[in-house]
Chain A
Amino acid sequence: MPAPKLRALVAVSASLFFAIACTNSASPTASNTNASTGKIRVCIVHNNADHPSIQSEIKGMQDEAKFYPVDLHMFDPALDPQKQVSMILDCVAQKYDVIAVNAVDPAAVVPALKAAFQAGIPVVMDNADTNAEGQQYTKTYVTTDTYAQGQAVGDAIKAVMPQGSKMVVIEGIPGQSGVAERLNGAKDRLSGTGIQFLDVQSANWDKNKALQVMQAFITKYPDINGVYAEDDEMALGALQAIKAANKTNQIKVFGVNGEKAVCQLIKDGSFGGTALQSTYMVGVDTIRAAWDITHNRIVPKQWIVPTIGLTKQNIDQYQSLCW
């Protein structure tokens, strides 16, 4: 078939598509709930489903969803803010009953949240919030208390590290909600102890990147005796760099999350401490929030899951909660 005829065919098909779309635009924008089964459709847009903390959150969502008539559909933009916006807008166009979002970038996600709001679709932010402008378009933010996590790590550092210690910090994606809070919480707890944070660098929540950042820190600051990484994956990356440099006796590692591997390392003494971040419970509460919202129940603007600081002193008591 000659190319011009095929182009004409495409033009006709596209016209047909849009014609159908225009006639279908008269259909109501109300939710697509299956009236006969009462199920609600929940669109969940993660930030990076490969991360262990998000996998724990997914498990929490799936376990909790068994108790409710919900259909969960999950999407992963792999830390690309443009993809996340596109996925949220797809969910808006596809008339989900609730959209849950773990923001890659708090500002970039705002136009998509606004579109959901204008379409009458409630949005639950989970794990990472949008900014102040975006919050007017969301119903609730389910999270662990990142400032309290920072404080818990600060307490762990105070308990383990001698006064006057020199430490460095490896943080997550700058600008993301929780990153500054985890650092500030720790700083506030360490105020007046003489323990210093000499430098802060980002590793974007990536273990391999954290390894490289730590290698650079070891070179630049040969006398440091501690590192605080804002999540356990980055902390494990930092630990690899420390082991490679034969400085495990000199540098103590602190993280946030409460991964099983890290909890065991705390018990063995090769890790200083971590703050238990139960993203599993964030997942559970996200589904509960989605259900409550679609059934006109009051939900708080912030839905906080508690945190616990873990060190060698208390790891036996809480190790079963590690994930």
Chain B
Amino acid sequence: MGGRLRLVSRLLPSGNQRAITVLVIGLIVFFSLTTPVTFVSTANAANLLRQMSFNAVIALGVVVVMAGGGLDISVGAVMSMSAAVVMGFQPHGVPVAVVMALAFGVAVGAINGVMVAWFDIVPFVATLGTMTIASGLVHEYSHDMPIPGANVAFTVLGGGNLGPIPVPVLFMIGLAIVIHVTMTHTPFGRAVYAVGGDFEAARLAGINVALTRFSTYVISGFCSSLAGILLASELNTSSTQLGIDTPLLILAAVIMGGASLLGGRGTAVGALLGVLALGLLATGLDGLGVQTAQQTIIRAVIFVAIVVLDVVSVGRLWARLRLRTGLSRGREATPM
């Protein structure tokens, strides 16, 4: 019996990142078995990866912010406004349009960073403010009308393929590598985790806490604007309806992938896994004919389960269970 418990405690890992990994594998296996013809196909794989790439680009920025102990809910509005800017500036040339859109995202990120890092405004409040401003700007700039594309070549960024691989997926992979290397192999990355873990300890260790936090928000703003550019390219239009649900979706994905609202945790791989899990759920449940409202409930249940696994360490639970039942080999049960 003790051996079985040890096996189970290994099979039920603690920690979000291992849980999300198991979830992703489980979803792939489940949908491959239940809807093999429609789920297991090149078209479905390419579609899944393309659609997740936009959210993944944003998630890669958000995970940096959260690792540094922050929060950014302006990502959806920044994405939407960046999409509007890149479409609106196309008559001036695609490079100019892209630069202007990225500049917008970086500028909003910088404003968020200044408010949080130097004015000590609570991140939720600061980014709620910029989110509201950016949302208003979208309506004002676009006059509540979709802005159509003016240059067919622009659609390659979000809608094109390089061989069998969708172009936005290449952006996602490239950005993931950059973020992963930065967070794991550079002093800046170590500073981000240190700041996220404990501001005061990081300060005492000589880290410029304010500059570090500021930088994380600039990165998040850049990623959100990049996602807006890619999405505008895929749709070949902008819309005031873009990005409304994005903050919650990205937050769920990033937390499922191992980041914490308390800071000090989160990886690029985890963020990708979280977005992949939600993408698999959406595609797989669509294939099973599950209605949209039911899909929302299922996603929420899985999200809560993953978060609970993070809070409640399963390994510790099983250890306590072993002690209570005296299943540890050769020892009497220890009264609790």
Chain A residues with CB under 8 A of B41: 21, 24-25, 27, 93
Q: Is the CB of A74 within 8 A of B38?
A: no
Whether B237 is near chain A, meaning CB under 8 Å from some CB there, is: yes
Complex Cα gap A14–B149 (Å): 35
Chain B residues with CB under 8 A of A13: 24-25, 28-29
Whether A35 is near chain B, meaning CB under 8 Å from some CB there, is: no
Chain A residues with CB under 8 A of B173: none
Complex Cα gap A76–B28 (Å): 24
Chain B proximity of A65: nearest CB distance (Å): 14
Stretch of A84-92, A156-164, A235-243 contacting B (4+ beta carbons < 8 Å): A84-92
Q: Is the CB of A49 within 8 A of B292?
A: yes
Chain B residues with CB under 8 A of A80: 241-242, 244-245
Q: Is the CB of A86 within 8 A of B44?
A: no
Whether A298 is near chain B, meaning CB under 8 Å from some CB there, is: no
Residue B144 contacts which of A1, A24, A78, A202 (CB distance < 8 angstroms)?
A202
Q: Is the CB of B235 within 8 A of A108?
A: yes
Q: How large is the interface on A (under 10, 10 to 19, 20 to 34, 35 or more residues)?
A: 35 or more
Complex Cα gap A21–B44 (Å): 8
Whether B54 is near chain A, meaning CB under 8 Å from some CB there, is: yes
B-facing residues in A5-32 (Cβ within 8 Å): 6-7, 9-10, 13-14, 17-18, 20-22, 24-25, 27, 32
Chain B residues with CB under 8 A of A21: 40-42, 44-45
Given contacts A82-B54, A90-B283, contact A95 B38 (CB under 8 A): yes
Given contacts A18-B45, A21-B44, A82-B231, contact A32 B269 (CB under 8 A): no
Residue A6 contacts which of B21, B146, B286 (CB distance < 8 angstroms)?
B21
Residue A94 contacts which of B45, B159, B235, B287 (CB distance < 8 angstroms)?
B287
Residue A20 contacts which of B13, B40, B43 (CB distance < 8 angstroms)?
B40
Chain A residues with CB under 8 A of B32: 17, 20
Whether A287 is near chain B, meaning CB under 8 Å from some CB there, is: no
Residues in A lying within 8 Å of B, measured CB to CB: 1, 3, 6-7, 9-10, 13-14, 17-18, 20-22, 24-25, 27, 32, 49, 71, 73-83, 85-87, 89-95, 104-108, 110-111, 119, 173-175, 202
What are 29 A-B contacts with C-beta separation under 8 Å?
A: A1-B18, A6-B18, A7-B21, A9-B21, A10-B24, A10-B273, A13-B29, A20-B32, A21-B42, A22-B42, A73-B289, A76-B291, A82-B235, A86-B282, A90-B282, A90-B283, A93-B44, A94-B39, A94-B44, A105-B235, A108-B235, A108-B236, A110-B236, A111-B155, A111-B159, A111-B234, A111-B235, A119-B43, A174-B143
> Top 5 A-B pairs ranked by shortest CB distance?
A94-B38, A93-B44, A25-B42, A108-B235, A76-B292
